[in-house]
Amino acid sequence: MKISRFICLTIIIIVIAILWFDESNAPTTLNQEQWDNGEETIKLTIHPEDVHKGNLVLVNQEYGIKENNVKNDLINLFENQDLIADYGLLDKNIQLSKEVMVHFNAMVEAAKKDGATDFLISSGYRGFKQQKKLYQEMGKEFALPAGFSEHQLGISLDVGSSEGKMEKTDEGKWIAENAWNYGFILRYPKDKTAITGIEYEPWHIRYVGKPHSKIMHDKDYVLEEYLAFLKDKKNVEVLVDGIKYNISYYPIMKPKSVIVPTDYGYEISGDNFNGVIVTIHK
């Protein structure tokens, strides 16, 4: 009897050890069958802290951010006039990710060709102290507490028009129809308030990048729905602008190795709760 119990216990320990190794150490290859035989690869190591970083992190009343997860390429727009396109700034202290600025500039230039020429930025990145002050002044009906606002990531901004209310202007209508083509999403649409928990904000856009903005546009998803979709599917392939993208979702509790071909570009973003999305393209 004692020997049987010992054998059973030993088997259980071995199974647990195998599962632990599989989750934390065994490399995962993204759709290996699609790569050519003998193609060179690199091994990426994804860490649990990566769950809280990247362009796809979900920030809302339930999922907050850490101060060190803010984009590290913030710049003051007023002090870098040579880097911005033809749009107004509501004040001299607006900051934004330099990467996001590049895409916003391209979007504004495209909108001008369609007659939408009167954009202005009213708000960009907000620090913890600034968000805390805003929440105290505006209250929970009009602001989110410090640590729970997308503005603290450096990739969200409030865009207005000098011609009037955003939803009624050419600028607002153009953003609603075309922002996805430049990697942006309208974060709080009118018909998704039950999901986002935020009232309609036609001025608030957030950068997620392609191909994610394209998929969200085609499926009419807000970020909450899109992340749930990726978590359920685990792997998605899509063709955008002639580029083939492979998007994989991994639950992360321990460091994990992911193998990708060396001549493919890749991006890594957490979802801000328990997973990481790896997007590769050629």
Q: Does residue 39 have a pLDDT over 80?
A: no
Q: What is the pTM of this model?
A: 0.87
**For residue 140, what pLDDT band results from cuts at 50, 70 and 90?**
confident
In one-letter notation, the amino acid at residue 68 is N
Tell me: the pLDDT tens digits for 212-270?
Answer: 999 999 999 999 999 999 999 999 999 999 999 999 999 999 999 998 888 899 999 99
Q: Does residue 119 have a pLDDT over 90?
A: yes
Catalytic residue among 99, 201, 224, 267: 201
Active site residue 201: yes
For residue 93, what pLDDT is reported?
95
CA pair distance 187, 201, nearest whole angstrom: 8
Total residues found in the chain within this entry:
282
**For residue 88, what pLDDT band results from cuts at 50, 70 and 90?**
very high
Distance between first and last Cα of the chain: 60
Tell me: the pLDDT tens digits for 46-70?
Answer: 999 999 999 999 999 999 987 667 8
DSSP 97-164: EHHHHHHHHHHHHHHHHTT---EEEEE----HHHHHHHHHHH-TTT---TTS-GGGTTSEEEEEETTB
For residue 30, what pLDDT is reported?
53
CA pair distance 262, 7, nearest whole angstrom: 45
93 DSSP assignment:
T
**For residue 38, what pLDDT band results from cuts at 50, 70 and 90?**
low
Q: Hey, what are 249's tokens?
A: 């979702």
